[in-house]
Amino acid sequence: MKIYEVEEARKTILKRKALHRMEYSPILVQKTEEYFGEGITPPQAVAIILQSVEEQGDQGIRKWSQVLDGYDGTEFVIPKEELKRAWKQMDREIQAAIEAAAGRIRTFHQMQPAASWTTNELGGILGQRITPIESVGVYVPGGTAPLPSSLLMSVIPAQVAGVSKIYTATPPQPEAAILAAAYYCGVEAVYQIGGAQAIAALAFGTESIPKVDKIVGAGNLFVTLAKQQLFGVVGLDGLAGPTETLVIADRFANPVWVATDLLAQAEHDVQASAILLTTDSDLAGQVSEEVQLQLSILSRRDTITASIQNAGGIVLVDSLEQAAELANDYAPEHLCLSVNDPEGLMSKINNAGGFFLGEHSFEVLGDYIAGPSHVMPTGGTARFASPLNVLDFVKISSVIGLEQAGAAALSKTAAILAELENLTAHAAAARARLETK
């Protein structure tokens, strides 16, 4: 891995690019034009898909499933018997792993406070009523690395919140592990639809696919662009970009372990970013050597190599305080603190999707079984966004139940403020209460 000085890193691997300014690879541009026509950009292609599904329903889904995924089937829903068969045919060790992960995810989210409340301290009844969203669509990526863990991490918080109808969409002919996880969780239905057409189907509804109130789950660029264009049409969890890990390590860190954590992140995708900030130049060199040594025996080494070249690297910092400042600015999805005092360092950082405290709290455990959802904010959105959690699946309604005397006491002030805003009908409605005996 390349070793950077701080200023060079700020201009390169630590510099954020907005989604609308993303530079598309020549291969992606070529493929997009091949499917949609010369000069058509990925956002324009997604708009075409969305319009097609909105206007043509199932026919639009079939068209794009055939064109983009090579799927000629006419049925989108996977029979529940097939889900059950996938579970029954799973090796018992895999079943046990799914059960264990699901149990910890459920227990963690059951501990999250999410309760309605009222008070009489302000006169009458005031409070908040929390109710679950009725229906949710969960998108589960397929591709070269199908992620049944993402299904668990998205479906279970929704179940804890009380969502009654949970549907899953995943690219055609999904891996048995995804079907098995869906069966174990007991989702309403699994649809073999991928990409932007899946997001469109769940947002608009078709003859075969129910319209949902909210869509969650990460996907490829087309999925993210579809979610961006459907903002306001359907509820969304966020716009997921390439996954990312920022590791801060001091001289006490184990270079072998740091290298494994960086490699684990880089194998997700050629655009994934795995970055190390360290105060120790010797550790930097050791980690760089370890990455090359371990890379040679990994199955996805081509993906990892591209990821490291595109967005990875090691940054030498003057102090852990400087590392904290850089981390706060970068606002990573995963922030791994491989330092002697991780809790002390965490207290200096506010922006991260997840804090992984110490070398025994490594990110892979968070990916699968620690408890919190691994669906986390990317692209610097950890400055204002949160990991997927129970509150993503509920609505908060204000409750106002004032008594006559209390309402009368407030009406004069309300009328004054309404008149200040030149809203005379508002003022009249307030003053009418004052005149009521």
Q: Specify the pLDDT at position 436.
A: 60
Residue with tokens 């991928």: 194
Examine residue 367 and state whether it is found in any structural domain, yes or no.
yes
Q: Are residues 232 and 252 both part of a single domain?
A: no
Q: Specify the pLDDT at position 220.
A: 87
CA-angle at 236, arms to 235 and 240, nearest 5°: 175
pLDDT band at 377 (very low <50, low <70, confident <90, very high): very high
Instruction: Determine what percent of the chain is predicted with pLDDT higher than 90.
Output: 86
pLDDT band at 437 (very low <50, low <70, confident <90, very high): low
Instruction: Kindly report the CATH number assigned to the domain that includes residue 280.
Output: 3.40.50.1980
Residue with tokens 């499917």: 35
Question: Of 244, 267, 333, 359, which residue is the catalytic one?
Answer: 333
**What are the Cα distances from residue 357, in Å, to 336, 341, 360, 431?**
6, 9, 8, 58
Helix residue spans in 111-205 (DSSP H) = 148-161, 176-185, 195-204
At 249, which helix (H) or strand (E)? strand 244-249
pLDDT band at 140 (very low <50, low <70, confident <90, very high): very high
Structure tokens at 60: 């639009």
Q: Specify the pLDDT at position 421.
A: 97
pLDDT band at 28 (very low <50, low <70, confident <90, very high): confident
Region 293-318: mean pLDDT is: 93
Q: Specify the pLDDT at position 302.
A: 92
Q: Specify the pLDDT at position 124.
A: 87
Q: Are residues 249 and 165 both part of a single domain?
A: no
Q: Do 258 and 293 form a contact (C-beta atoms < 8 A)?
A: no
The average confidence (pLDDT) of the chain is 94
Q: Are residues 263 and 210 both part of a single domain?
A: no
- E strands within 381-433? 394-401
Upper half-sphere CA count for residue 4 (Cβ side, 13 Å)? 19
Compute the distance between CA of residue 348 and CA of residue 353 in angstroms, rounded to an integer.
15
Structure tokens at 14: 């630590």
Instruction: Please list, in sequence order, all residues whose beta carbon lies within 8 angstroms of the beta carbon of residue 291, skipping any fewer than 6 positions away.
Output: 1, 259, 262, 263, 308
Active site residue 23: no
Beta strands 189-192 and 214-216, pairing class:
unpaired
Question: Of 109, 268, 334, 374, which residue is the catalytic one?
Answer: 334
Region 129-134: mean pLDDT is: 97
Q: Are residues 231 and 252 both part of a single domain?
A: no
Q: Are residues 220 and 246 both part of a single domain?
A: no
Q: What's at 177, amino acid-wise?
A: A
Q: Are residues 199 and 344 both part of a single domain?
A: no
Active site residue 334: yes
Q: Specify the pLDDT at position 275.
A: 97
pLDDT band at 3 (very low <50, low <70, confident <90, very high): very high
Q: Which of 15-29, 62-76, 336-350 has the highest mean pLDDT?
A: 336-350
pLDDT band at 271 (very low <50, low <70, confident <90, very high): confident
Q: Are residues 172 and 294 both part of a single domain?
A: no
Q: Are residues 333 and 427 both part of a single domain?
A: no
At 136, which helix (H) or strand (E)? strand 135-139
Q: What is the pLDDT of residues 60-102, one digit of tens each?
A: 999 999 999 999 988 899 999 999 999 999 999 999 999 999 9
Q: Are residues 232 and 272 both part of a single domain?
A: no
Q: Are residues 230 and 281 both part of a single domain?
A: no
Q: What is the pLDDT of residues 178-202, one digit of tens each?
A: 999 999 999 999 999 999 999 999 9
Q: Are residues 131 and 236 both part of a single domain?
A: yes
Q: What is the tally of structural domains in the chain?
A: 3
Compute the distance between CA of residue 65 and CA of residue 74 in angstroms, rounded to an integer.
10
Compute the distance between CA of residue 24 and CA of residue 19 in angstroms, rounded to an integer.
11
Q: Which domain holds residue 95?
A: 80-240+390-394
Q: Are residues 293 and 336 both part of a single domain?
A: yes
Examine residue 46 and state whether it is found in any structural domain, yes or no.
no
Examine residue 114 and state whether it is found in any structural domain, yes or no.
yes
Q: What is the pLDDT of residues 309-326, one digit of tens each?
A: 989 999 999 999 999 999
